[in-house]
Amino acid sequence: MVLRKNILITGASSGLGEGMARQFAARGRHLALCARRTERLDELADELRAAYPGITVLTRALDVNDHDRVFTVFEEFRAELGGLDRVVVNAGLGKGQPVGTGRFDANRETLETNLVAAAAQIEAATGIFREQRGGHLAVVSSFSAIRGLPKNVTAYAASKAGISSFVDGTRLELRGRGIAVTELRPGYIESEMTARGGGNLLISSAESGARALVKAIEAEPRRAYVPAWPWVPLTLVMRFIPGRFLRRFV
């Protein structure tokens, strides 16, 4: 397996992004971290540099909905590190509201961030990988990409299904170019996003979830449900459960 030494993570100031940064730092990887909230990002970078003196940790402010800046920041990181071996497209939003309730603004923002902005990040990363003739693209989608969902999750599930299709097409496009492409479909993992949804018996801790994500990314599969238990067997339930029952559990 190729050692991916220089890793870029978007949305790295909290949640899954922060957790993955900690896991990769512990493995001795150099990190390029970006997010909107630079204060939290810089605190994390200082902590990781102190804990692991042998690694480089770079930070940049980035709102992924500023598409031109996505390309600029990725190129700046590439120049400073001397190349990018892996890009983890992680920045996302779970702000949706039930359809037809007057909150199209929230649904539009969710779709724009999780689909259009994610596509911009994929474009920026794969452009660099094409020039380098190698690299690994890992995109954090969601278990909810499997099918359409009601209530507050409609726009979120649609955005994740869309980016899942975009990742599949990207993989086909890059076939034979030495560029690995992985789609990650996490289930419920402790984060600010899942905290807003209330309690859930299936939720994993932030640390165990990040550890499972990084383990899956390092293996570089085409697609991974994370953690594997219980989310792999639940894929069958999600695909075939009648909609009238599904609504009760969302």
Strands 135-140 and 179-186, bridge-based pairing: parallel
Instruction: Note if 225 is an active site residue.
Output: no
Residue 22, Cα to own-chain centre: how many angstroms?
Answer: 15
Question: E strand or H helix at 163, and its extent?
Answer: helix 154-173
Could you say which of 52, 156, 188, 225 is catalytic?
Answer: 156
Distance of CA 75 to the CA centre of its chain: 19
Residue 188's nearest CA partner among 175, 200, 174 is: 200
DSSP line for 178-190: TEEEEEEEE-SB-
Distance CA 1, CA 58 (A): 25
**What are residue 186's DSSP bridge partners?**
226
Tell me the catalytic residues.
156
